[in-house]
Amino acid sequence: MNDTTPNLDPRNTSMKSQEKRINKLKQVLERLSRGKIVQNRQLKTVLGTEGYARYLDDCHVQEQLREMLGDKPKEIIEYERRLKAATFSYNKADSKSVKGQHKTAHKMFNYTDGLFERLAEYLSENIAGHGTLETWFDRTVETTPENSFGLDPDSFPKIITSRSLNNKGGGYLVNKRTIREVKVDAVQRVLEELTAPEQETVVDTTDQMARFKRLRQLSGD
C-alpha cells in the first residue's frame, strides 16, 4: 500500500517560503529598475521587519543630508560669491579677447588674476584644513605649493550644489541618493542576505569520536 501522507517537513516549507520571498524581491527590484512606483507598504512586506527598519533609517539619513545641503556655512557662501565674481570677470575678458579687443582684454585679465589670487588666499586661510567645510567641495582642497591653483575658473574647486558642468560631484554628494536608489539598495541588500551561500561547518571527526567515548565511559556503558 502506497503511503499518501503529505510531506510536512518544516524544512521544506521554510525553503518554499524563502524561494517565494526571493521571487517577490526580484519582481520589486525589476519594477524599480524600470522606473515604476513601488509603495512603502509593498516594500514593508517583502523586506521584512529588519530590512524595512534599515530602509527607513536610510531615508532619514537622506532627509538630514538634504536639510544640511540647504544650510550652507557662511564661509562657503562667501567662497561661492568670490568665485562667481572672478568667473564673471574672466568670461568678460575672454569675450573681449575673442572679439579681437586684445588691449582691453589684457587689462581685464590682469584684474581677473587679482580676483583669483585673493580667492586662493581666502580658500587657504578660511577653508583648507577644516574637514566640515572641505566636504562642501567637489574635489580635495589642496593649497600646497605643488597644488597651487591656476588663474581661471576650472582650476578652482566647485561647491557640490553648483550646477557647473565642471562640478565633479565629490564631498557630501557621494552619499546623496534618490528615494528610488534607497529602495533599490534596500531590496538588493535583503536579496543578498537570502541568497548568500551558507558557511560550511567543518566537523572534526576525531574530536567528535573522543567526546563520544568519554560520554560512554561516564555513563558506565
pLDDT, position 218 = 47
Exposure class string for 134-145: b at 16+ Cβ within 10 A, else e = bbbbbbebeeee
Cα 158 from chain centroid?
19
Is the confidence at residue 106, as pLDDT, over 70? Answer: yes
Q: Which triple of cell numbers denotes residue 204?
A: 572534526
Which of residues 13 and 178 earns the better pLDDT score? Answer: 178
Cα 77 from chain centroid?
24
Write the pLDDT tens digit of every residue in 48-97.
999 999 999 888 888 887 877 778 899 999 999 999 999 999 999 999 99
**3-class secondary structure, 159:** strand
Instruction: Give the span between the Cα atoms of 5 and 8, in whole angstroms.
Output: 9
In the structure, what pLDDT confidence band is assigned to residue 219 with cuts at 50, 70 and 90?
very low
Domain boundaries defined on the chain: 13-69+180-196, 74-160
What's the mean pLDDT in 99-124?
A: 93
Tell me the three-class secondary structure of 57-120, residue by residue: HHHHHHHHHHHHHCCCCHHHHHHHHHHHHHHHHHHHHHHHHHCCCHHHHHHHHHHHHHHHHHHH
In the structure, what pLDDT confidence band is assigned to residue 3 with cuts at 50, 70 and 90?
low
pLDDT, position 159 = 85
pLDDT, position 145 = 60
Radius of gyration of the chain (CA): 31
Task: Tell me what percent of the chain is helix, strand and coil, each rounded to the nearest 5.
Answer: 70, 0, 30
pLDDT, position 195 = 85
